[in-house]
Structure 1
C-alpha cells in the first residue's frame, strides 16, 4: 500500500543523496537504530511506541520507485546542487532488481509498548549489499516517528494523573477514557499532524473532536470508531444571540439536544453570573429535568483555570447541591458536569485536580480538553529522538561503530547489532554488540523488501499501553518506571480496556 502522490526519492534531506559517494568503497551493510535518548532530569522517563505502521503503509511499502520518479529526481537534484551527484544508476538497479520495492528490513517494538528511554525502539538495515546506502537514506522519514511517539507519551502521562486522582476521589476508574478530550485539530501545523497526533491520543483515550485522528485509526489501525464526542457550543453560536439573549441561547441548546449530553461554553460575558443566575436560577428546572445520559456540561474558557473552575463548582453546588460518594468526596448531581479546556497541560491538570480534592471534590465532576499542549507544543528534543548507525560490514567483516562526542556524552550512541529484552530483574534493557539472544528479543520484524510483515490493530495497541498499579503511584510519576518484574501477575486497573 504505497503512496502514489509523492516521490520517495525526494522525501529526504537532500544532502543524503550524496552519501553513496562517501561510505567506504567496500561497504556492504549499514545497520542503524532509533531511540529516545535518556536524559538526566528529563520530564518523561518512558515512551509509548506508536506510529510506525502508518509511515510504512503510507510511504515505504510496495513499489515506490519508478523510472518516472528517477527522472524527476535526477532533474531536481541537478538543479538543486548545480552538479551531477544523483545516483541514477543505483536507483535504476533497485527498480530492475526489486521492481521499485526497498531492500530494507525493519525490526521494531510492538506498537503501544511502554519502553524506558535510552532503549532501541526500531532497527533498520539493508538486505542487499548493493544498497547499503539506503538504510540511512530513509532516516529523514522514519525519524518523523518522534511526533506520534511524543504525543502518545504525553497523552499517557495525562492519563496517569487523571487515573490517580479519579481512583483516589471516586474509588474507581469508571469513565477514565473520556476524561481528556482532544481539542487540538485547529492548533496543529497540518492535516497530517492532526491525523498522526490525533490517533496517538486515541491510544490512551476515546474522547476527541479531531476527526483526522479517528480516520487514521480507522484506515491504518483497523478501528471502525476510535473516538467519540458530544454536541457542543462555541462562542459564535452563543454571542450570535446577542448579550441580552444569553439565557435564550442556552435554553435553545437544551431544546435542541434534549436526550443526549451537550456541552455549553458559558464565559462569553460572565461565567460566574451565567452559572448562578442563568443555569442555577432561570434555567434551573430545565437543567434538573435532564438525566445522567443527557448531562449538561458547562465549559469555562478563560481566566485562571484552577481558580475559575473552583469558583464555578462552588456556585453549582449552591444552586444544585451535591452528595458524597463512597469514598467521601463531593459530587454534583449526575445531570451537570464541567469541562475545562483552556490552559490545560500536565502541570495545570495536576494542580486543578489536587485543589479539587483538597476542597473535598471528586474528579468525577470534571472533564478536560487539551489542544496545543497535547499536539503542538512539542518537538523532536522533547524526548531526544535520534537515529544512528551502530554496525557496518565491509569485505565480509562486521564492525561495531558508534559516536562519542567529547563535548556531550549524552549524545554517545550504541554499538553493534541491538536487541531489546526484559532481564532477570524485570527491567527492559538494550543488549549491544550482537550479544542478545533471539528468543529474548522484543523487536519484531515488521517490514522486509517492500512488504509489511506485521500489523497491529488499535485494540492491540491500547492493550499494550494500558495502565498498571504502579502507574498510579506518585513516587513513580517522576522516576524511571522501567522495573516491571511482576507485570504479568498484576491486575489491570478497574475500568481500563
Structure 2
C-alpha cells in the first residue's frame, strides 16, 4: 500500500540520520537495552520481537534503498551516512551488523529488568543499533497488549476459580478481541491482535491470526462464531425484530453450536422478555445451540446483571458444585464499555448475585488494542555502554528532574534464579566478550539468548511455546 515505507533506512526518526557524527572519536562499538521502567502493571509479558525481526530486519538493505534515503535526507535537511550504508550493503550483503539477545517470548518478567539487548558487531558500524531504535522500540506495543490481556486473564480466572466447575475449559474464550476497527493501522491489528492471542483463543481480528501464522508458525491461533451486527437485525425493521432473530437460529443454530445475537437495537429488556423468552424460547431450546445475547449500550454492570436475571427467568438455570447458578441454553457477551475495570465490576456484580462466571464473556475493542501507549509500561531503549579507543565505558542518563528516567549502565544481561524464579539484570564483566560466556553466581542461570545476529534469526520460537510460558 505504501511502497516507500518499506525502506528500512527510512524507518527511523529524522534526527537519527545525524547521530553517526555525534559519538566520541574512537567509538567502534555500542550496546543498548530495552526495559519497562514501571507503569500500570508490575510485570510485562514479553512478546512480539520475533515478528518485528522477521517483518523488517530480515529484508537486506540494497543500494537502491541507499539511493532513495540519500535523496530523501538531502531534501529533508539532515546529513546522511552514505558511506556507512554502502559499507553495510557491500560487506554485509545489506544485513545489519548487530547482535540481539532477548528473554524467551511469553516470559512474564518484572519491570525494571532488561528484556532485550542490542550490540554492534562491526567496528565500522557502531552507529547501527542506535539507528534502529525507532523500529525496535515499537516492541512496546505487542508487549503492552499482551500484558493487558494477561492481566485481564488473571482477573477472569479468579472469578472462574471461585464460581465455575470448569475454570480451565472456560477461560480461553472469555475475552474476545473486537479491536480491529479501532486501531490505527492493519499492522497494529496484526501485532496487537496476535499479542492478545498469547492469552486467549477468541478473536474477530483476522490480521492477528494471520500474523501468528506468518511469524510464529501457528496454523490457527484464534477462533470466532457467527454473530449478528445491528444492520443485520435492523434491516428487518422494528416490526421484524423477532423474525431477524429467528433467521439467526435457522441459519446458524445446531446442536453444540454458539450463535451470538446483538439484541439491543431497540429495547434489550423487551427483546429478552418477549422475543427470546417467549416467542423464540422453544426454538432456542430445540436447536441444541447455545444462544449468546449481546447487549451493546447502557451501563455495562447494570445492563449485564439485568440481562442475566431476565434470561434466568425465561430459560432457568442449574446450580453447579460450587453452588452458583448456570443459565440453561443461553449466555451473555458484553462488548460495549469493556475495559479491565468494568470486567472486574461486572464479574463482582453477577457472582455476588449468585451467578457463575460461566454465564458471561467479554469482547474488548479499543481498550484492548488502542488505549495503550509507550508510557503505559514506560518503555525505553537506551545506550548503556560504548567501546571508545578499545575500552568499554558505561553510558547512562541520570536527570535530576526525574529519577524515574535513570537508565542502567554497562553491558547487561538478564538472569533468573532456578529455585526462586526471581529475575536480576547484571553487568557483563570487563574481559568477557559475550554474555553467555560469563560465570553466574550459584543458583542463577542465563535468562537471555541470542535470537538475532548479523541479519539472521538464530532462534525461531513457536507460538505454542510462547503461550505455554505466559500461561497462568
Whether 1:179 aligns to 2:179 is: no
Higher alpha-carbon deviation: 42-51 or 366-375: 42-51
Farther off after superposition, 69-78 or 4-13: 4-13
Corresponding pairs, count: 456
Q: Does 1:464 align with 2:463?
A: no
Question: Deviation at 1:426?
Answer: 3.5
Counterpart Cα distance in 1 of 2:251 and 2:198:
32
Q: Distance in 2 between matches of 1:93 and 1:274?
A: 69
Number of the residue aligned with 1:454: 459
- Alignment RMSD: 1.4
Check conservation: 1:415, 1:433, Cα contact below 8 A. Answer: no
* CA shift in 2, pair 1:5/1:383, >3 Å: closer
In the alignment, the residues of structure 2 paired with residue 28 and residue 43 of structure 1 have an alpha-carbon distance, to the nearest angstrom, of 38
Matched, 1:399 2:399: no
1:62 touches 1:451 (CA, 8 Å); kept in 2?
no
**In structure 1, C-alpha distance between the alignment counterparts of 2:58 and 2:426, rounded to whole Å:** 29
Cα shift at 1:290? 2.9
Give the distance between the partners of 1:7 and 1:359, measured in 2 at CA.
57
Query: What does residue range 437-452 of structure 1 map to in structure 2 within 5 Å?
Result: 437=438, 440-452=445-457
Which runs of 5 or more residues in structure 2 are unaligned?
none
1:411 to 405, 410, 420: 405
In structure 2, what is the equivalent of residue 67 of structure 1? 63
Please name the residue that 2:215 is paired with: 220
Matched, 1:11 2:16: no
Residues 93-492 of structure 1: matches in 2 within 5 Å?
93-173=87-167, 174-259=169-254, 260-291=257-288, 294-333=289-328, 335-423=329-417, 425-432=420-427, 434=429, 437=438, 440-467=445-472
- CA separation in 2, counterparts of 1:4 and 1:312? 51
Shift of residue 96, structure 1, vs aligned partner: 1.1
C-alpha separation in 2, matches of 1:403 and 1:434: 21
The corresponding residue for 2:26 is: 26
Shift of 1:62: 4.3
Listed one character per residue, the Cα deviations across residues 204-241 of structure 1 (whole Å, up to 9, x for unaligned) are: 00000000000000111111100000000000000000
CA contact (8 A) 1:400 1:433 kept: no
- Offset at 1:247? 0.6
Q: Aligned pair in 2 of structure 1 residues 377, 316: CA closer, same or farther (>3 Å)? A: same
How far residue 245 of structure 1 moved from its aligned partner, in angstroms, is 0.8
The residue matched to 2:6 in structure 1 has which SS?
A: coil
**Quick one: distance in 1 between partners of 2:164 and 2:195?**
27
Q: Distance in 1 between matches of 2:212 and 2:302?
A: 37
Q: Distance in 2 between matches of 1:461 and 1:371?
A: 23
Q: Distance in 2 between matches of 1:453 and 1:24?
A: 32
TM-score by length of 1: 0.90
Show CA shifts across 1:459-486 (max 9, x none).
000001000xxxxxxxxxxxxxxxxxxx
Distance 1:175 1:190 in 2: 31
TM-superposed deviation, 1:131? 0.4
Contact 2:295 2:304 in 1 (8 A): yes
Provide the rounded CA distance (Å) in 2 between the counterparts of 1:187 and 1:28.
44
